[in-house]
Amino acid sequence: MRVVAVTGASGYVGGLLVARLIADPEVEEVLTLDLHPPHHAVPEGVTFYRRDICEPGLGDLLRRHRVEGLVHAAFVLHATPRQLAWMERSNLQGTANVLRAAVEARVKRVVVLSSTTVYGAWPDNPVPLTEAHPPRPNPDYPYGVHKGRLEEMCRALEEDHPEIACAVLRPPGIVGPHFHGPLADLWRRRWAILIDGGRAPGQFVHEADVVDLILRALRAGARGVFNATPDDWLPWREIWTQAGKQPLNLPWPVARRFFGLVWRLGLFEGATHPAQVGLARFPFVASNERARRELGWRPRRSTVEAIRTFTRGSK
């Protein structure tokens, strides 16, 4: 592909992806879109547009640059109570507009970042989950619900426009040395919250492994859903203990009230939504077997190794 577009290009994963695309000799131009300007000077081969993905005219822009591949990585993960409407607009209306633009511009390949939160954290979930398991996001967690709606849009896109190869990737929490934001600020503390003893399994994937899978899916013209998970999962207590954190156990009723208050006060930029904390109560870990088999993807780091690359750089 000669021209690739990236939404959310100034964000965490988007920025790392752009750096990899620039280094690809087969890519001549990277079209980047974000509400926020990039943190560094725009390098040669990159064209940046400061743009709201909900705005009209996106299809004309993609067509003008003759975009062949599109990665949609522009999503709002955290929101305070006052920001929920904006979060929903950006995540849902924005995604619909991006996919519509891809159709208008006749983009050949689309990769969209979803999340394992579409499975929901439920006591009857199998361990591990596969892509054959139906999405069942927790209804009180806006981000998971939005990702579930996003995947419905992608399924409709492939049904209505089979000429477009659309791949949906489901990572768990993404972490690495470049991880930043309100949740990263919380993780820099010496302690880590456990819910009900931290017995449920959890997993994290390294940022570089996610970017590698995005590129593989894009180059292969992959279709359908792929879990973007590491090879392992561990109980939350073991994850945080091995990462060098001091576990602080809270019963769920106490944690729900405490984090609900913190979230309603608008602290930590909405990163303490009680439903997000509640995900640690039950399993929603997933297998990466399909991505390994069909795309040849091999994540290089385990759950704990991924977290350690962040915690070591945060000291």
Count how many domains the chain has: 1
| Mean pLDDT score, 154-167 | 98
- Name the residue range of residue 154's domain: 3-179+203-232+284-302
76 belongs to a structural domain: yes
Residue 313 has a pLDDT of 62
Q: Report yes or no: 107 and 67 within 8 Å, Cβ to Cβ.
A: yes
203 — pLDDT class (breaks 50, 70, 90): very high
Residue 291 has a pLDDT of 98
| Mean pLDDT score, 177-201 | 93
78 belongs to a structural domain: yes
Q: Examine the pLDDT at 262 and tell me if it is beyond 60.
A: yes
Q: Convert the pLDDT of each residue in 268-287 to its tens digit.
A: 999 999 999 999 999 999 99
Secondary structure of residue 112 in the 3-state scheme? strand
Residue 315 has a pLDDT of 44
pTM over 0.85: yes
Q: Which pair of structure tokens corresponds to residue 306?
A: 């991924």
Secondary structure of residue 99 in the 3-state scheme? helix
Residue 1 has a pLDDT of 85
Nearest CA-CA partner of 284 in 70, 82, 143, 133: 133
Q: Convert the pLDDT of each residue in 32-51 to its tens digit.
A: 999 999 887 788 899 999 99
222 — pLDDT class (breaks 50, 70, 90): very high
Q: What percent of the chain has pLDDT over 70?
A: 99
Residue 24 has a pLDDT of 95
Report the half-sphere exposure of 267 (CA within 13 A, side-chain side): 11
| Mean pLDDT score, 235-257 | 96
| Mean pLDDT score, 146-166 | 98
116 — pLDDT class (breaks 50, 70, 90): very high
Amino acid (one-letter) located at 113: L
57 belongs to a structural domain: yes
260 belongs to a structural domain: no
Please enumerate in sequence order all residues whose Cβ is within 8 A of that of 2, keeping only pairs 6 or more positions apart, or say none.
26, 27, 28, 29, 66, 68
Q: Convert the pLDDT of each residue in 73-101 to its tens digit.
A: 999 999 999 999 999 999 999 999 999 99
196 belongs to a structural domain: no
CATH number at residue 167: 3.40.50.720
24 belongs to a structural domain: yes
22 belongs to a structural domain: yes
311 belongs to a structural domain: no
Q: Examine the pLDDT at 312 and tell me if it is beyond 90.
A: no
Q: How far apart are CA 95 and CA 62, in angstroms?
A: 15
